[in-house]
A and B are shown apart, each in its own frame.
Chain A
C-alpha cells in the first residue's frame, strides 16, 4: 500500500472520531482504542504485529503485490507539486526580513516572579523561547515552564472569546454591564466588591489596584495561589517582626544547606545558574561547592547533594533546631531526632562554621514558618547576611498577611453574604483552594455577580457569569518583578490570536476614568510617571524601586560561554536589535482569525499602526529628569528590564523571642506523614493542558501523564505495596544502573485510597516506590485531577486539592488503604536501557584528584578495517558535563520546541514510543535501596558516532555521515525498517510509529520551527545536533568570509541549560571550549569498547563529600573504569572487551 493512503485513512478516521466525541490531540490515541473501528485500524497499524501476516498471501505473492505498489509509489514520488502562492506584504517593515528570525525581550511570570526571556520570532510568529542573557533572573537560560509556554499560547483549547453565561459577548457589552454594576456599588465604597488574583508583583497592576482602592475604599483585593510565600513571609515576621524577601547569592557560597528546599525544580533559573558556577570543575577551577540536603522526599536537590538526610516532614524543624543549637543560636532543644541525624547535623555545623560568610542555609517554601525563622537566625550567626543572604522588601504588596488568611476572610465574607461582586483575575480557585476554604460552586452562587479572566474555560470560569479570555504573556504588554526585584517588561510578540484581554485592561474597566485603555497605553503611561533611569535605590513599595547593589552591572556581562555575547543568535549581530516599537507587533483591537493569512495580517497591523502616541506626555519629562522618556522607554523595552531596579537591601535584626515559641504541627490522624508537593511538570495544575509538559518524564521517576504517590521501599514492603518484584530488578548494587522494575512493581502500581487529615482523595492513588524517600512518609503531587483543563489535561491523575487543608497546606498525617486494584504507569525509566555497562561515572573529588589518570579510556580508533576519514573543515562535537547536570529537564523541552517533536500520548509512551530526541537518564547507585546515592543524571542524545552502527545497516542510505561528522538523518529516504534503531547501542533513535504530528490544527502550524522538517509517519528521527543552527551559523560565517566562531552555535539544549552542562563546537579548533573539555581527565566515551567513536562525550560527576560526616563513604573509581593498559596494580582490564 502506498503510505499516502494510510495517512489519509488515519487522518479521516481521526477527524471522524474527533467530530463524534469532541476529543482531539495526542492523548486521544489512547482513547481511540476504545472506538471499535479504530481498534481494528490500530491493530494492523503496529508493525510489530507479525502475527497479522496473512498466510494466504505467500511470500512470493507478497513480493509481486509489493512490487506493483512500489512502482506506483515511485511514480507518485514525482507527482507535480500543487501550485503555491507567494504572498508578500503590502507595506513591509524595515526590520522584518522574511525567513530571518528576530529576537524580542519579554518576560514570563510564575508565582509572582518574572524570568526575562528572548522570544524568537519568524515572520511575526514566536516559535521558540530563549533566556535573556542580560536579565538578572535568567542570565540567558530558561526552565521547563518558559520553554513550554510557547505551546500554551498556541493551545487550541484556550478560551477564545468573552462570554456571558456561556454565550459570546462583546468587550463593549462587558464593559457596559460591569461598569453598571460598579456604579451600583460605589455608594458604599465598594464594600461588596472583591478582587481575587494570584501573587502580583507587577508595579503597574499594583498602581492600578491602588487607584481602585482610592475609588472604592471598601473593596478588597485578595491574592491567593496554591504555591505561595506564606511560610517565608510568616517566618520572616517571626524572626524580624516584619516581612522581608530573601535573595540568596549562590555564586558566593561554598557550603549550602537546604532545609527541604528544592533549588532545582523552581522557576528561579538564576539560582541554578549561580549554583552551577560554583559547582563547575575544570583544570583552572578545582574547588567546587558542597551541598547538604535535608529533605522529606526525593528531590533534584537531594539527588545532587553531597550529603543527604531524609527525615519526616515534621522533623525538619527539629533538624533546624539542632543546627541552630550546634551553631550557638540557642532556642529549644530538638526532640525525637535519631542519633545518626544528630551526628550528621553536628558534623555539618562544624563544616559551616569553617565557611562563615560563604555559606547559605535555605529553607523550603513548604516548611513551617519556624524553620524559616531559624534559617534566618542561622544565616545571621554564620555571618552570611549581607554576604550570601540579602534581605529586601517583599516584592508583592499585602505580603504582611498570609494568602491563606486573605482567602479565609474572603470565604467568610462570601458565606456571610457580604460579597456582591467577585472578580477573579487569572486564578482558578474552584480547583485549587484548600478543601476547608473551597470556593466551590455553592459558595460562588452566593455571589450575585462573578467575573472571571483566564486563559481557559476552566473549573472557575464554568461557574462565573462573565468570562474574559486572557492574553498569553506573548500577546500582552505588562511588567513584573524578577527574583531580586528587577522590573521586567513584558512585550507582546504577536497580535492576540483570539479576542483576549490582559489583566491590566480588565482591571482598568473598574476605574472611574480612562477605563477603556489598551495594555500598551496602561503600561507605558505608568512608566512615564516613573524614573526609568533610576540610579539610586528606592523601596519596592513605592512601586518604582531601584537599587544600586551592582547586580545589573555585574549581570550584564554574564554570558554563558566565553566570547559569546550574542548568546541566542546563530547569526551575527543585528538579531538582538528589535526594532523600535513601531515595528513590533503592537496592541490593536483587531483579532485576526488564525489562518494562513495571520502572519501577514499581523505584520501589517503592526506596521500600519505604528507607535501609539502617548497621551500623558505631560508627566513624563518631569519625572525623567535629565533624560528623554521615549529613549529610556525604548531601551527598557529593548533590554527587557529596567536597569538598576533590583530591590534595595535592607538591614533587619533577628529577634530571638520566636525561639521559645512552640512549633505548630498538624493534628495526628494516621500513622503516615503525607507531604504535598508541586508537580515538577504541570506546577499547580495551570500547565495541565500542555502536552509537552504532560509527556515530559518527571525528573526522578520518569513518569508521564499523571501523578503518583511516593513511598519508601521499606514502607512499601511493610504495607505490601507494589511487592511483585525482585529487588535486583531495580537496584544495581555497586554498578550504576537505572533504577527500574520491569516485572510488575513500579510499572504496574497498586492503587490505594489515601486519607489526609481525615479526608479522602476522591480518586485512587497509584503508588510509586521511591528510593531515598524517608520511611512512613507519602509524598503526593498537586496539579492533576483537573476536570476542565482542556482536551489534554482533563481527567488525568488524582487531585490533591480534594484534601489539602488551610491548617495543613504542606504536610499532614493520614493513612492509605490498598484497594486491590492496579494500574499501569507510563514511565520512560525502563525504556532504552543500556544495562550494566560503564555508563555513569561518579567519584569523590579527592579520589579523583589523586588519580585522575584512572579514568583514561583505551583508544580503539585504529582498530577499524576502514581508513580514517579526515575531517578537514569543522568537526562538530559536544561534551556533556554531568557534574553540572541537575536533571531539571529544561533541555528536553527546548529540544522538543526547537525540533518540532510531537507528543504521542500515554498509551504510546507505555509502548515505549516517546519521541523525545533528548532524554535524561537517572541512575541510582549504592547498595542500599532505602538510601541510595543519586540519582545521577545523564542527558542522552544521538552521540553522532564517527563509526556509527546505525549507518551500515540502513538499506536505503537514509542515515549517512556528513563531512563535518554529523550523523545525518534523511527523512525522505527513510522507509522505516528501524534497523538503525535496533543497531544503535545508545538507543537514541525514535520512530514515528503513527502520525504523531498534528497536521491540521492551524495554531500548531504557526508554532512550528520553519527551519526543521515536520516529520510524518513511518520515519525515523533523532538528534541532529541542531543542524539548522549549524547551517545558519555556517552561512553567516561564510558570507563574512570567516570561520564559525567558538560559541556562535548554541544547540537548543545548550542554550536552555541553566547549569552549562552542554558544550558544542569545533573539535578541530584547539581553543574551542569543547576541544578543551575533551582533554579533561573526566572526559569519557560511553560504551567505548564498541569503538563507535562518538562525537558526544561525557564529563564525570564529582562529589565533594565531607570526610567528617558520619555517612561519608568514599566513592571510588570502579575497577572496570580503569584503563586496560594501565600500570601494574592500578588498573585491571575492562569488564567487557571489544
Chain B
C-alpha cells in the first residue's frame, strides 16, 4: 500500500516536471527563421528601439510584426546586396509577406494584450527575457498559466520605470530613487489581484 502511494507520488512529481519542461513548453528552444535576423545585432548593438519594428505594442493587443517595408527602410541602403537579405528583397519585390516562425505562442483562449502591460509598467524582458542579447530569439519563460498568475497575483516586483520598459538588459537593483518613486506610484494604480486573477481578465 505504501509503495503504491509512494509510486503515485513519484509519478505525480515526474508528471509535473515533464509538463513544465522545455520539451513540453518549448522554452529555451531557438527557432530558425526564414531570415537570419538577430535581435542582438539590431537592438543590442545598433540600439534600435523595440517600438521601431513592434510599433503597436503601446496601442493594440499585439505588439505588431514589422511589414517588409520596415526592413527595407534601412536595407535598401545598408547591405542592399547581401545574400542574407534576399528573402526580404524578394518579399518586397513580389509583394509576398515573409512567414516568420512564431516563438511566443499563447493558447487561443488566452487573450493577452501588450498595450495594457506596457502601459502599466511591465517591461518587455519580464516575459520575453533579454532579447537584446539573443542572436536568435527563444521563449524565455514557460508561458504556462501558473507563470502568468505568478505575476497577476503580485505584479509589483515586475513593474519598471517608464524609461526602462524597452531596456531588456535592465537590472532592477540599479533603480534610482526617482525611478523608485515612479514605480511606487504606478503600483498604487494597479488593479487588485482578485481582479487580475479573475478568469474573464484573460479568457473570453
Q: A residues near B, CB below 8 A?
A: 74-75, 78-81, 83-92, 97-100, 600, 604, 608, 872-873, 960-964, 966, 968, 970-972, 1011-1013, 1024, 1027-1028, 1030-1031, 1035, 1038-1039, 1041
* Cβ–Cβ contact B67 & A97, under 8 A: no
B61 contacts the other chain (CB 8 A):
yes
* Cβ–Cβ contact A78 & B24, under 8 A: yes
* Cβ–Cβ contact A971 & B189, under 8 A: no
* Cβ–Cβ contact A1027 & B101, under 8 A: no
Given A964-B195, A1011-B111, 9 more contacts at CB 8 Å?
Answer: A74-B15, A83-B105, A91-B67, A968-B200, A972-B107, A1013-B109, A1027-B200, A1031-B204, A1038-B119
14 pairs, CB–CB < 8 Å, chain A vs chain B: A83-B101, A86-B102, A87-B99, A90-B96, A91-B69, A97-B59, A99-B60, A100-B61, A608-B95, A963-B192, A971-B109, A972-B107, A1024-B204, A1030-B200
* Cβ–Cβ contact B192 & A873, under 8 A: yes
* B24 contacts across to A, CB distance below 8 A: 78-80
* A1012 contacts across to B, CB distance below 8 A: 204
> In the complex where A85-B99, A86-B65, A970-B203 touch, is A1035 in contact with B105 (Cβ < 8 A)?
no
> In the complex where A90-B91, A97-B59, A966-B200 touch, is A81 in contact with B105 (Cβ < 8 A)?
yes
> In the complex where A88-B97, A962-B200 touch, is A873 in contact with B56 (Cβ < 8 A)?
no
* A604 contacts across to B, CB distance below 8 A: 95
* Cβ–Cβ contact A1035 & B26, under 8 A: no
Residues 45 to 78 of chain B near chain A (Cβ within 8 Å): 56, 59-62, 64-69
* Cβ–Cβ contact B204 & A85, under 8 A: no
Contact of A86 among B68, B99, B109, B204 (CB under 8 A): B99
In whole angstroms, what is the CA distance A872 to B111 when docked? 24
* B68 contacts across to A, CB distance below 8 A: 88-91
* B105 contacts across to A, CB distance below 8 A: 81, 83-84
Which 10 A-B pairs give the minimum distances between C-beta atoms? A962-B198, A88-B65, A89-B67, A963-B194, A968-B199, A92-B67, A84-B102, A963-B195, A86-B100, A99-B61
In whole angstroms, what is the CA distance A1038 to B122 when docked? 14
Contact of A962 among B19, B62, B113, B195 (CB under 8 A): B195
In whole angstroms, what is the CA distance A556 to B57 when docked? 35
* Cβ–Cβ contact A1031 & B111, under 8 A: yes
* Cβ–Cβ contact A1041 & B97, under 8 A: no
In whole angstroms, what is the CA distance A970 to B200 when docked? 8
Distance between B48 CB and nearest chain A CB, rounded to angstroms: 17
Q: Which residue of B lies closest to A899 (CB)?
A: B204
Mostly, the B contact residues are: loop
* A87 contacts across to B, CB distance below 8 A: 97-100
* Cβ–Cβ contact B192 & A962, under 8 A: no
B201 contacts the other chain (CB 8 A):
yes
In whole angstroms, what is the CA distance A79 to B105 when docked? 13
* Cβ–Cβ contact B204 & A1011, under 8 A: yes
Contact of B199 among A99, A600, A873, A962 (CB under 8 A): A962
Distance between A159 CB and nearest chain B CB, rounded to angstroms: 29
Q: Which residue of B lies closest to A1041 (CB)?
A: B189
Q: Which residue of A lies closest to B107 (CB)?
A: A81
In whole angstroms, what is the CA distance A1041 to B185 when docked? 12
Distance between B203 CB and nearest chain A CB, rounded to angstroms: 6
Q: Which residue of A lies closest to B95 (CB)?
A: A90
> In the complex where A90-B95, A1039-B119 touch, is A98 in contact with B62 (Cβ < 8 A)?
yes
Q: Which residue of A lies closest to B199 (CB)?
A: A968
* Cβ–Cβ contact B102 & A85, under 8 A: yes
Contact of A80 among B26, B113, B119, B203 (CB under 8 A): B26
B120 contacts the other chain (CB 8 A):
yes
* B119 contacts across to A, CB distance below 8 A: 1038-1039
In whole angstroms, what is the CA distance A1028 to B26 when docked? 29
In whole angstroms, what is the CA distance A89 to B18 when docked? 38
B79 contacts the other chain (CB 8 A):
no
* A873 contacts across to B, CB distance below 8 A: 191-192, 195
* A98 contacts across to B, CB distance below 8 A: 56, 60, 62, 64-65
In whole angstroms, what is the CA distance A971 to B26 when docked? 24
B92 contacts the other chain (CB 8 A):
yes
Q: B residues near A, CB below 8 A?
A: 15, 18-19, 23-26, 31, 56, 59-62, 64-69, 91-92, 95-102, 105, 107-109, 111, 113, 115-116, 119-120, 189, 191-192, 194-195, 198-201, 203-204
Q: Which residue of B lies closest to A79 (CB)?
A: B24
In whole angstroms, what is the CA distance A1031 to B202 when docked? 9
In whole angstroms, what is the CA distance A78 to B143 when docked? 12
* Cβ–Cβ contact B204 & A1027, under 8 A: yes
Q: Which residue of A lies closest to B143 (CB)?
A: A81
In whole angstroms, what is the CA distance A119 to B47 when docked? 41
* A99 contacts across to B, CB distance below 8 A: 56, 60-62
* Cβ–Cβ contact B59 & A100, under 8 A: yes
* B204 contacts across to A, CB distance below 8 A: 1011-1013, 1024, 1027-1028, 1031
* A972 contacts across to B, CB distance below 8 A: 107, 109, 203
Q: Which residue of B lies closest to A74 (CB)?
A: B15
> In the complex where A97-B59, A1035-B113, A1041-B189 touch, is A90 in contact with B69 (Cβ < 8 A)?
yes
Q: Which residue of A lies closest to B31 (CB)?
A: A83
* B113 contacts across to A, CB distance below 8 A: 1031, 1035
* A960 contacts across to B, CB distance below 8 A: 199
In whole angstroms, what is the CA distance A966 to B204 when docked? 12
In whole angstroms, what is the CA distance A98 to B19 when docked? 32
* Cβ–Cβ contact B65 & A964, under 8 A: no
In whole angstroms, what is the CA distance A1038 to B92 when docked? 38
In whole angstroms, what is the CA distance A97 to B61 when docked? 10
Distance between A1018 CB and nearest chain B CB, rounded to angstroms: 15
In whole angstroms, what is the CA distance A85 to B32 when docked? 12
* Cβ–Cβ contact B66 & A88, under 8 A: yes
> In the complex where A962-B201, A966-B200 touch, is A88 in contact with B98 (Cβ < 8 A)?
yes
* Cβ–Cβ contact B116 & A1039, under 8 A: yes
* Cβ–Cβ contact A97 & B64, under 8 A: yes
* B191 contacts across to A, CB distance below 8 A: 873, 1038
In whole angstroms, what is the CA distance A87 to B18 when docked? 32
Q: Which residue of A lies closest to B22 (CB)?
A: A80
Distance between B100 CB and nearest chain A CB, rounded to angstroms: 4
Distance between A570 CB and nearest chain B CB, rounded to angstroms: 12
Q: Which residue of B lies closest to A600 (CB)?
A: B97
* A1027 contacts across to B, CB distance below 8 A: 200, 204
In whole angstroms, what is the CA distance A75 to B19 when docked? 8
In whole angstroms, what is the CA distance A962 to B191 when docked? 13
Q: Which residue of B lies closest to A90 (CB)?
A: B68
In whole angstroms, what is the CA distance A1027 to B24 when docked? 31
* B96 contacts across to A, CB distance below 8 A: 90
In whole angstroms, what is the CA distance A88 to B102 when docked? 12
In whole angstroms, what is the CA distance A85 to B68 when docked? 15
Distance between B60 CB and nearest chain A CB, rounded to angstroms: 5
* B115 contacts across to A, CB distance below 8 A: 1035, 1039
* Cβ–Cβ contact A964 & B198, under 8 A: yes
* B108 contacts across to A, CB distance below 8 A: 1013
Distance between B155 CB and nearest chain A CB, rounded to angstroms: 13
* B23 contacts across to A, CB distance below 8 A: 80
* Cβ–Cβ contact A88 & B67, under 8 A: yes
Q: Which residue of A lies closest to B91 (CB)?
A: A90
Listed residue (B98, B113, B195, B204) with the most chain A CB atoms within 10 angstroms of its CB: B204
In whole angstroms, what is the CA distance A964 to B200 when docked? 10
Q: Which residue of A lies closest to B113 (CB)?
A: A1035
* Cβ–Cβ contact A1024 & B19, under 8 A: no
Q: Which residue of A lies closest to B94 (CB)?
A: A90
* A88 contacts across to B, CB distance below 8 A: 64-68, 97-98, 100
Distance between B187 CB and nearest chain A CB, rounded to angstroms: 14
* A81 contacts across to B, CB distance below 8 A: 26, 105, 107
* A1031 contacts across to B, CB distance below 8 A: 111, 113, 200-201, 204
In whole angstroms, what is the CA distance A968 to B201 when docked? 10
* Cβ–Cβ contact A90 & B107, under 8 A: no
In whole angstroms, what is the CA distance A90 to B67 when docked? 5
* Cβ–Cβ contact A968 & B109, under 8 A: no
Distance between B115 CB and nearest chain A CB, rounded to angstroms: 6
In whole angstroms, what is the CA distance A764 to B108 when docked? 48
